[in-house]
Amino acid sequence: MDRYKLEYEMKNRGVTVEKMCADIGMSRSAFYRKCRGISEFTITEIQRIVDYLDLDSPMGIFFTEECPKRHTMKEGEKMNDLLKINFDTEQPTVSARDLHEQLNIKTAFKDWFPRMCEYGFEEGKDFCSKMSETSSKGGRPSKDADISIDMAKQICMIQRSPEGKQIRQYFIDLEKAWNTPEQIMARALKMANSSIESLKDRCKFLGEQVVEQQQIITELQPKANYVDTILQSKSLVTITQIAKDYGMSGRRMNQVLKELKIQYKVGGQWVLYSKHQNNGYVHSRTIDITRTDGRADVTMQTEWTQKGRLFLYEELKKHGYVPVIEQVA
């Protein structure tokens, strides 16, 4: 480094060693040791000094500007043709392999990049590891990383080469363009459009859910209505009354219940099979009658409770018999 240039820049700005060291968090003894070449400034310390003094570049003070020229762009060639910037993420990124190539680094990427990461860069914050896409020539994918533009700038500065200086300036210009009011507004609009599309998809999904729920309600409504009718009634009902709910005669209903092993006939009265007895489904009523010859007599009639009516509803439905109110037109 050139300590005299650094002292000149500090003096020109009216900055003392004591003041700058206190503000950037460095001891004066460490600062003097590094200025004398006993130890080296870290990339973070260099960046802090550059920012504190508002220098255009660390070149000429911390890094030698005169380096062997190893690469120049061809005439008409642009930096963005050589380094593809990814704008799909919240902050622009660049491929670490592409940067390694454009910096003309002789060290293999697998050895070079881990060494760069030792300068305090954190995965998940400054870069994200990935596997590079295979080329048209085929071959297996290789390790790569998407690195932030800030990390790329610092890596360029570490190289101390004309390529590093040139590419770093390109990144600086890129950041300036990225943070113009027009670009900020464009990104805001893009995010808003993305949010709108997401809300549209959500609304569509919820709309489909509402339609599906409404269909289920429509299908269940007749059953609910019929069951409500049963529960609201506390009186006993005859089999003829129940049969009307199903659109059939009392005789036909009795026959169906017989076939389903729910009841059988004894002495002119329908009674339940033993497994259904004592469940509170039916009640026997004694009815006074007059025979054709004028004699007074009595007969037993089976009437169904509302509990029994619900029991018949469930049993009949199992075998395909549903009330008229539930039948599809």
Q: What pLDDT, on a 0 to 100 scale, did the predictor assign at position 114?
A: 92
Indicate if the pLDDT at residue 73 is higher than 70. no
What is the structure's pLDDT at 68? 37
- What is the predicted pLDDT for the residue at 212? 77
Tokens of 278: 């004592």
Query: What is the pLDDT at residue 76?
Result: 43
Distance CA 327, CA 323 (A): 7
pLDDT recorded at residue 328: 63
Residue 258 in this model has a pLDDT that exceeds 90: yes
Higher pLDDT, 279 or 67: 279
Q: Is the pLDDT of residue 7 over 90?
A: no
304, 306, 308, 312 alpha-carbon torsion, rounded to 10°: 100
Q: Which of 75-84, 90-99, 249-258 has the highest mean pLDDT?
A: 249-258
Check residues 90 and 174 and name the one with the higher pLDDT.
174
Instruction: For residue 133, give the DSSP letter.
Output: P
Higher pLDDT, 245 or 59: 245
**Of 37-41, 123-127, 149-153, 225-229, which gets the smallest average pLDDT?**
225-229
| pLDDT score for 55 | 83
Residues 6+ apart with CB under 8 A from 305: 236, 280, 281, 282, 283
Q: Quick: pLDDT tens for 261-278.
A: 999 988 788 889 999 988
What single-letter amino acid sits at 35? C
Tell me how far apart the alpha carbons of residues 85 and 98 are, in angstroms, rounded to a whole number: 10
Neighbours of 82 (CB within 10 A): 16
User: With the C-alpha atoms ordered 68, 71, 77, 80, is the resulting torsion angle positive or negative?
Assistant: negative
Highest mean pLDDT among 83-87, 88-92, 125-129: 125-129
Ranges of each domain in the chain? 3-53, 79-179, 233-326
Per the prediction, the chain carries an average pLDDT of 79
Q: What is the pLDDT of residue 196?
A: 74
CA–CA gap between residue 204 and residue 198 (Å, rounded): 10
pLDDT score of 220: 54
What's the rounded Cα separation, in Å, for the pair 252 and 241? 12
pLDDT band at 146 (very low <50, low <70, confident <90, very high): very high
Mean pLDDT of all residues in 229-249: 81
In the predicted model, is pLDDT for residue 35 greater than 50?
A: yes
Q: Would you say residue 134 has pLDDT above 70?
A: no
Q: What percent of the chain has pLDDT over 90?
A: 18
- Helix (H) / strand (E) element for 230: namely helix 181-232
Higher-pLDDT residue of 69, 189: 189
Of 39-43, 238-242, 256-260, 320-324, which range is least confident? Answer: 39-43
